[in-house]
Amino acid sequence: MEAAVETSSNAQRGFRVQAPLVDSVSCYCRVDSGLKTVAGARKFVPGSKLCIQPDINPHAHKSKNSRRERSRVQPPLLPGLPDDLAIACLIRVPRVEHIKLRLVCKRWYRLLAGNFFYSLRKSLGMAEEWVYVIKRDRDGKISWHAFDPTYQLWQPLPPVPMEYSEALGFGCAVLSGCYLYLFGGKDPLRGSMRRVIFYSARTNKWHRAPDMLRKRHFFGSCVINNCLYVAGGECEGIQRTLRSAEVYDPNKNRWIFVADMSTAMVPFIGVVYNGRWFLKGLGSHRQVMSEAYVPETNKWTPVNDGMVSGWRNPSISLDGQLYALDCRDGCKLRVYDGATDSWNKFIDSKLHLGSSQALEAAALVPLNGKLCIIRNNMSISLVDVSSPNKHVEGNPQFWETIAGKGQFRTLVTNLWSSIAGRSGLKSHIVHCQVLQA
């Protein structure tokens, strides 16, 4: 009785009262869910164990209440540690082991399935970058693979959804660092699509997103300020080559049209450089043309400078510098010099692999502050260009080959891969992105 009076007086002084958990459901019989004090609850349930539960349903079945009561008493994430310290330990577990962590118990699964766990890893600088490679296999089907550069392991992934298992000319981009989007494209049976799906590196699952406003395939796409832009491309029907453009804002979860391009175009290369989106492709009459889009002014302008004339695919902008491949195997890079408006700088590994389709460099992406070159045989090279004081132009020691799925260890395997490429290897990389988690 004295304890109840003391608790009531504390509540009146403004202290926060923590309701004790009980094992009995006897206090559920007539308690009003609106009561917020122990004294008020005791008045309606004399002689019973005291508890305050604002979500009590007095008419609920006893068995349901029992389950709910038991669920409120949760075991700790790690025995002997408070949950905040347990989370501080779990966020330091390498990403490659997260699949196993989800299998330990329901609490660990829910922790790793939410955004809090990975947002905390990112804010503390513990997020790890993996390379995601989307390939078209010899049978025409789309498959994909994830590479962990820290442990140099290829990781299994859930299958690509059915609508993109054989699609052509679809776009691929990353938003918020951890969501990989597939959008548009052409289905062999249904034709051009507006569909948009995305994969979460945090949950390892696929999800749906709002469809694009126009059906299109073989179009250009980019990400600026975490917004996804698409432009041009083709669409089956009367207006085959498109000049329309649109943008998706993940915060608003919707697409809107932006300014149309000057002329219709089917882009075959694009890059974001100095806040502008550059596109180069074929016009309606198959002529080569290029344009640049500025999001701040929502305008397209034709471009014919030295950057576009010497532009090669793939290319990437990293730390204010624009890089592009200069040879088929990606062992030599070109660097754009804005002062002279030319591509007169080179970074050469001094070790070239060959010119077969298997050895062809298909993607150039940033990985942990370095340039990452991915080839059709799934071999990966890294180039350290992080420090401007390093003379990487003619220094091969800044090149590093990662032991990937198709790395060549001997001259025999190198020769065999070249022969396979010349004999008509059809498997090739379609898209490559980097995701954090």
Cβ(153)–Cβ(96) below 8 Å: yes
Q: What is the pLDDT of residues 223-273, one digit of tens each?
A: 999 999 999 999 987 668 999 999 999 999 999 999 999 999 999 999 999
Q: Give 436's strand partners.
A: 129
At 82, list the tokens.
Answer: 């408070």
pLDDT above 70: residue 149:
yes
CA 223 – CA 174 distance, rounded (Å): 8
Full-model pTM: 0.79
Residue among 209, 226, 231 nearest 163 (CA) = 209
| pLDDT over 80 at 16, yes or no | no
Is there a contact between 375 and 133 (Cβ–Cβ < 8 Å)? no
Please tell me the distance from the alpha carbon of residue 275 to that of residue 384, in angstroms, as a whole number: 24
Tell me what the mean pLDDT of segment 90-102 comes to.
95
Predicted local confidence at residue 337, as pLDDT: 92
**Residue 360 CB coordination number (10 Å):** 21
Confidence label for 395 from pLDDT (cuts 50, 70 and 90) = low
Q: Which of 86-90, 186-190, 229-233, 392-396 has the lowest mean pLDDT?
A: 392-396
User: According to the model, what pLDDT value does residue 239 have?
Assistant: 67
Cα(94)–Cα(105) distance, integer angstroms: 18
Quote the pLDDT of residue 355.
Answer: 81
Residue 96 DSSP code: G
**Residue, of 230 and 67, whose pLDDT is higher:** 230
Q: Which residues contact 216 (CB under 8 A, 6 or more apart)?
A: 184, 192, 194, 230, 232, 233, 234, 235, 242
In 326-436, the DSSP E strands lie at 332-337, 342-348, 361-367, 370-375, 380-383, 399-402, 428-436
Whether pLDDT at 36 is above 90: no
Tell me: the pLDDT tens digits for 342-375? Answer: 998 899 888 888 888 889 999 999 999 999 999 9
Mean pLDDT check: name the lowest of 8-12, 336-340, 387-391: 8-12
pLDDT of residue 37: 45
How much is the pLDDT for 236?
85
User: Which distant-in-sequence residues (6+ apart) come within 8 Å of 365 by Cβ?
Assistant: 131, 316, 372, 374, 432, 433, 434
Averaged confidence pLDDT in the chain? 82
pLDDT, position 27: 39
Q: Within a 10 A sphere around the Cβ of 350, how many other Cβ atoms?
A: 11
What is the arithmetic mean of pLDDT over 175-181? 97
Query: Mean pLDDT over residues 210-227, rounded?
Result: 98
> What domains, with CATH codes, occur in the chain?
1-73 (no CATH), 77-127 (1.20.1280.50), 158-304 (2.120.10.80), 307-437 (2.40.10.480)
How many angstroms separate the CA atoms of 307 and 341, rounded? 6
Of the listed ranges 125-129, 148-152, 282-286, the least confidently predicted one is: 282-286
CA distance 53 to 18: 10
The predicted structure's pLDDT at residue 310: 80
Asked whether the predicted pLDDT for residue 21 surpasses 70, the reply is no
Q: Give residue 128's identity as a one-letter amino acid code.
A: E
**215-230: average pLDDT:** 98
- CA triple 95-250-141, angle to 5 deg: 65
Q: How far is CA 105 from CA 88, 93, 113, 117, 338, in A?
A: 18, 16, 12, 16, 55
Percent over 90 (pLDDT), the chain: 63
Which residue has better confidence, 252 or 40?
252
Structure token digits, residue 75? 């075991």
According to DSSP, the β-strands at 370-375 and 380-383 are antiparallel
